[in-house]
């Protein structure tokens, strides 16, 4: 489904991602773990087209998207939820969701069905439909960004730290929702610092450290064999 | 009573024109974080299109539509000539290219047309006056008020109710995120320039309608006015631009009415002093735009 080969990302002289390779099979939930500064978000941004790769290739369903612009990437069926939780704050919740369906703007009926599905998945969003997105709580904003990404009807969803800065109860809800999405057949790349919860939902995981992948395997393998705390604490 | 009505009409007609000018500038600024210094020249283009088509025998309204269309074309052309090639590079580069483009257009007008004022065809209604409850006012002021109400409503509708408008507002807060939802960057930017050109075209006709002639430097004052109005109102906010336009008109008109004759030629000094005071009070403008401020 999604295939990343020897991907490198540099900010000037600083190499944030140093030739990593990984892949996602159809319907898989793969987690990308690692501490701050490991290069996870750079990887996500690069796949999404918001950041230029300095080397390597990214293919989505056999199509090379390495040099694609963000708008081209989403058109090939990959939606991104960035870690910065980018709601459009002065647009209403409904307008945010409507923009999520930008690619399908002519399919009014389909969008209406999809919107109903989102409202079922996130009841809070339907209550706050006409409220400016900037007035939502952090958890609600996260739900809005995920729902907005889903409105683009993706086959692959990139989730960058969906639990960042949220209260434990909300994190619980977000992970439940990720599981629901997985069950619906969506392919998901989940970037997390919240290792235990990420491994609980993931099929497989990759561990990044200082721009390289230092461990990979099934969730159970990662949990039992690799010394995660070493990668996180840098010892 | 007559005095009050006169005053209100003056403020609204001047403010309407100012608001439209400011809106045209802030639409570009909101999305690109760049001031289009060639904006005034779009007004010039509209004026010269009127002048050049004056001998054609076309009905006036067709000439006016042609002038607005040319302003739109030159608006989009500004993007291709001055912005797009250097947009990703640096703010300074775009600042200079937009100045250069402005200069180029002005000098082209100097060279190929004339440095001297050229008459612009105007329908007789532009020079007529009417009496409303004792107040005598030029009909063109009422036309300006009507045009600005219609256009402000149309822009508000576009920005609130259409997908393109909502996408433009989204792009103004977070361009990259909008692109990640599939909104094409170039479509948004070209639309912004087209809309900006459209507003400049209409304002151009109304503005030049006051003087009746067009000169190569005709766009300077509208650019300055638009810039000040957006600074007062808040550089990032569309409603702010409108509020700023009307407020600036209120200040100008009040000073016109109240300053003694020999101080009137210093009106701008008074206006700018007030603008400075407003900015000391609200440095970010009256209406704050969306929070995020990344350049794209």
Judged by CB atoms closer than 8 Å, whether chains meet at B180 and A70 is answered as yes
Say which of A74, A79, A89 has its CB closest to residue B291. A89
pLDDT tens digits along A3-25: 999 999 998 888 899 999 999 99
Q: Quick check: is A84 in a domain?
A: no
Q: What percent of chain B has pLDDT over 70?
A: 97
Q: Torsions phi, psi of A30, nearest 5? A: -110, 135
Interface test with A, best of B88, B179, B182, B183 (most A CBs within 10 A): B182
Q: What is the dihedral of CA A163, A164, A167, A170, to 10 degrees?
A: -30
Measured between CB atoms, does B185 come within 8 Å of chain A?
A: yes
Residue-level pLDDT at B131: 85
Alpha helices in B33-138 (DSSP H): 39-52, 60-78, 91-112
Q: State whether A214 and A110 are in the same domain.
A: no
Instruction: Decide: residue B292, CB within 10 A, 0-12 exposed, 13-18 middle, 19+ buried.
Output: middle
Interface test with A, best of B180, B191, B234 (most A CBs within 10 A): B180
Judging contacts by C-beta atoms under 8 Å, the chain A residues touching residue B185 are 69, 71
Which CATH number fits the domain that encloses residue A6? 3.40.50.300
- What's domain B2-281's architecture? Orthogonal Bundle (1.10)
Residue-level pLDDT at B296: 42
* CA atoms of B2 and B135, how far apart (whole Å): 5
pLDDT at A231 over 80: no
Q: Which residues contact B41 (CB under 8 A, 6 or more apart)?
A: B74, B101, B102, B105, B106, B219
Instruction: Decide: residue B250, CB within 10 A, 0-12 exposed, 13-18 middle, 19+ buried.
Output: middle
Residue that finishes a domain, picked among A128, A153, A178: A153
Q: Quick check: is A126 in a domain?
A: yes
Question: Across residues A184-205, what is the average pLDDT?
Answer: 91
pTM over 0.80: yes
Q: Which residues contact B163 (CB under 8 A, 6 or more apart)?
A: A98, A99, A102, A105
Judged by CB atoms closer than 8 Å, whether chains meet at B179 and A90 is answered as no
Judged by CB atoms closer than 8 Å, whether chains meet at A89 and B183 is answered as no
Confidence band for A107, pLDDT divided at 50, 70 and 90: very high
Judged by CB atoms closer than 8 Å, whether chains meet at B179 and A69 is answered as yes
Judged by CB atoms closer than 8 Å, whether chains meet at B180 and A95 is answered as no
Tell me how far the alpha carbon of residue B183 is from its chain's centroid. Answer: 26
Q: Quick check: is A232 in a domain?
A: no
pLDDT tens digits along B190-246: 999 999 999 999 999 999 988 889 999 999 999 999 999 998 888 888 889 999 999
- State which residues form the domain around A162: 1-77+156-226
Q: State whether A140 and A160 are in the same domain.
A: no
pLDDT tens digits along B84-131: 888 877 888 888 999 999 999 999 999 999 889 999 888 888 888 888
* Nearest chain A residue (CA) to B185: A71
Please check whether residue A29 is in contact with residue A180, taking contact to mean a CB–CB distance below 8 angstroms: no
pLDDT at A2 over 90: yes
Judging contacts by C-beta atoms under 8 Å, the chain A residues touching residue B181 are 74, 99-100, 102-103, 148-149, 152
Judged by CB atoms closer than 8 Å, whether chains meet at B173 and A99 is answered as no
Angle of CA points B67, B236, B251, to nearest 5° = 75
Judging contacts by C-beta atoms under 8 Å, the chain B residues touching residue A79 are 180
* C-alpha distances out from residue A224 to A193, A214, A219, Å: 17, 15, 9
Give me the interface pTM, i.e. the ipTM.
0.90
Residue-level pLDDT at B50: 93
* CA atoms of A30 and A76, how far apart (whole Å): 19
pLDDT tens digits along B136-176: 888 999 999 999 999 999 999 999 999 999 999 998 888 89
Q: State whether A26 and A120 are in the same domain.
A: no
Q: State whether A101 and A199 are in the same domain.
A: no
Confidence band for A233, pLDDT divided at 50, 70 and 90: low
* Nearest chain B residue (CA) to A71: B182
CB pairs under 8 A between A and B: 73
Judging contacts by C-beta atoms under 8 Å, the chain A residues touching residue B287 are none
Residue-level pLDDT at A4: 94
The size of chain A, in residues, is 235
Q: State whether A5 and A66 are in the same domain.
A: yes
DSSP state of B212: S
Measured between CB atoms, does B92 come within 8 Å of chain A?
A: no
Judged by CB atoms closer than 8 Å, whether chains meet at B185 and A105 is answered as no
Q: State whether A166 and A212 are in the same domain.
A: yes
Q: State whether A163 and A137 are in the same domain.
A: no
List all residues of chain B from 236 to 295 with a beta carbon under 8 Å from chain A: 290-292
Q: State whether A5 and A55 are in the same domain.
A: yes
Residue-level pLDDT at A228: 65
pLDDT at B293 over 60: no
Q: State whether A107 and A133 are in the same domain.
A: yes
* Nearest chain A residue (CA) to B170: A88
Q: What percent of chain B has pLDDT over 90?
A: 57
Q: State whether A171 and A145 are in the same domain.
A: no
Q: Quick check: is A193 in a domain?
A: yes
| Cα radius of gyration (chain A) | 17
Give the count of domains, chain A: 2
Three-state DSSP state, B131: strand
Domain boundaries, chain B: 2-281
Confidence band for B294, pLDDT divided at 50, 70 and 90: very low
Measured between CB atoms, does B69 come within 8 Å of chain A?
A: no
pLDDT at A129 over 50: yes
Place of tokens 């007030």: B274
**Pairing state of beta strands A55-60 and A63-64?**
antiparallel
Judging contacts by C-beta atoms under 8 Å, the chain A residues touching residue B189 are none
Q: State whether A63 and A13 are in the same domain.
A: yes
Measured between CB atoms, does B218 come within 8 Å of chain A?
A: no
Confidence band for B182, pLDDT divided at 50, 70 and 90: very high
pLDDT tens digits along B67-85: 999 999 999 999 998 888 8
> Where is mean pLDDT largest: A207-221, B36-50, B88-102?
B36-50
The size of chain B, in residues, is 296
Please check whether residue B27 is in contact with residue B34, taking contact to mean a CB–CB distance below 8 angstroms: no
Say which of B166, B179, B292 has its CB closest to residue A70. B179
Measured between CB atoms, does B170 come within 8 Å of chain A?
A: yes
Alpha helices in A7-137 (DSSP H): 40-48, 70-75, 93-100, 108-121, 123-127
pLDDT tens digits along A139-177: 999 999 999 999 999 999 999 999 888 889 889 989 999
Judging contacts by C-beta atoms under 8 Å, the chain B residues touching residue A91 are 166, 169-170, 173
Judged by CB atoms closer than 8 Å, whether chains meet at B176 and A88 is answered as no
Judged by CB atoms closer than 8 Å, whether chains meet at A80 and B180 is answered as yes
Q: State whether A21 and A120 are in the same domain.
A: no
pLDDT tens digits along A33-79: 988 888 999 999 999 999 999 999 999 998 999 999 999 999 999 99
Q: Quick check: is A120 in a domain?
A: yes
Judged by CB atoms closer than 8 Å, whether chains meet at B167 and A75 is answered as no
Residue-level pLDDT at B77: 94
Judged by CB atoms closer than 8 Å, whether chains meet at A82 and B177 is answered as yes
Instruction: Decide: residue A117, CB within 10 A, 0-12 exposed, 13-18 middle, 19+ buried.
Output: middle
Residue-level pLDDT at B291: 54
Place of tokens 């149309």: B154
Residue-level pLDDT at B168: 92
Please check whether residue A59 is in contact with residue A230, taking contact to mean a CB–CB distance below 8 angstroms: no
Judged by CB atoms closer than 8 Å, whether chains meet at A86 and B182 is answered as no
């Amino acid at each position: 489904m999604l295939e990343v080969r020897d991907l490198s990302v540099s900010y000037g002289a600083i190499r944030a991602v140093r030739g990593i390779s990984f892949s996602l099979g159809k319907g898989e939930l793969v987690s990308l773990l690692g501490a701050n500064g490991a290069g996870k978000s750079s990887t996500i941004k690069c796949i999404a087209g918001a950041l230029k790769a300095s080397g390597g290739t990214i293919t989505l369903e056999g199509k090379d998207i390495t040099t694609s612009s963000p708008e081209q990437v989403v058109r090939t069926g990959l939606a991104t939820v960035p870690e910065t939780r980018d709601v459009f704050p002065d647009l209403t919740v409904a307008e945010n969701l409507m923009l999520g369906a930008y690619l399908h703007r002519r399919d009014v009926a389909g969008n209406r069905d999809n919107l109903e599905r989102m409202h079922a998945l996130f009841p809070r969003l339907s209550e706050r439909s006409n409220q400016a997105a900037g007035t939502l709580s952090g958890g609600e904003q996260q739900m809005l960004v995920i729902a907005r990404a889903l409105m683009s009807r993706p086959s692959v969803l990139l989730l960058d730290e969906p639990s960042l800065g949220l209260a434990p109860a909300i994190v619980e809800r977000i992970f439940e929702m990720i599981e629901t999405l997985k069950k619906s057949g969506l392919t998901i790349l989940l970037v997390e610092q919240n290792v235990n919860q990420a491994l609980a939902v993931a099929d497989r995981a990759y561990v990044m450290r200082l721009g390289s992948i230092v461990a990979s395997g099934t969730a159970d393998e990662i949990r039992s064999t690799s010394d995660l705390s070493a990668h996180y604490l840098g010892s | 009573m007559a005095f009050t009505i006169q005053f209100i009409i003056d403020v609204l007609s001047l403010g309407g024109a100012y608001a439209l000018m400011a809106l045209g500038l802030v639409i570009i600024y909101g999305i690109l974080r760049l001031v289009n210094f060639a904006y005034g020249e779009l007004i010039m283009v509209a004026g010269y299109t009127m002048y050049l088509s004056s001998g054609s025998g076309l009905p006036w309204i067709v000439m006016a539509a042609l002038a607005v269309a040319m302003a739109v074309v030159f608006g989009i052309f500004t993007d291709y000539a001055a912005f797009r090639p250097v947009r990703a590079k640096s703010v300074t580069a775009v600042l200079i290219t937009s100045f250069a483009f402005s200069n180029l257009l002005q000098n082209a007008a100097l060279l190929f047309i004339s440095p001297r004022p050229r008459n612009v065809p105007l329908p007789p209604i532009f020079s007529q006056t009417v009496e409303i409850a004792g107040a005598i006012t030029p009909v063109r002021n009422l036309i300006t008020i009507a045009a600005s109400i219609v256009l402000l409503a149309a822009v508000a509708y576009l920005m609130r109710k259409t997908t393109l408008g909502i996408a433009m507002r989204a792009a103004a807060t977070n361009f990259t995120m909008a692109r990640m939802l599939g909104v094409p960057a170039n479509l948004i930017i070209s639309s912004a320039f087209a809309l900006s050109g459209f507003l400049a075209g209409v304002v151009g006709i109304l503005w030049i309608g006051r003087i009746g002639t067009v000169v190569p430097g005709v766009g300077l004052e509208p650019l300055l006015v638009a810039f000040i109005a957006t600074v007062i109102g808040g550089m990032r906010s569309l409603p702010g631009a409108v509020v700023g336009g009307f407020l600036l008109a209120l200040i100008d008109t009040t000073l016109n009415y109240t300053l003694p004759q020999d101080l009137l030629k210093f009106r701008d000094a008074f206006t700018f002093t007030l603008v400075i005071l407003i900015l000391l009070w609200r440095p970010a403008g009256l209406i704050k735009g969306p929070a995020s401020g990344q350049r794209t």
